[in-house]
Structure 1
Amino acid sequence: MIIRKANIDDIERINDIYNQAVLNTTATIDTEPRPLEYHKNGLRRIMTDMLFL
């Protein structure tokens, strides 16, 4: 397994994985899938201060 920093090119897959968890698990507190733009904005915001793995 290779662990690396996420980048904006990864956001579509991150969104897919997150929304799958929303719909099929209790891993999040969300009850509805999030739009792609929500995760794009979040990743851009945290990329300036933190790593997103």
Structure 2
Amino acid sequence: MHFIAISINHRTADVALREQVAFRDDALRIAHEDLYETKSILENVILSTCNRT
């Protein structure tokens, strides 16, 4: 089993990059569907927060 994590935050990425990877409207659902259609990816989790805590 392999585990891959991809992460960005307000400290490691400027606003322009964060805007490119932000999920809008139904984009999160579409991203999950795309990942499920990839045969080599059996499970996935997308965690997107506003970082306002």
More helix by share: 1
Larger radius of gyration between Structure 1 and Structure 2: 2
TM-score (norm 1): 0.35
TM-score (norm 2): 0.35
Higher relative contact order (CA 8 A, sep 6+): 1
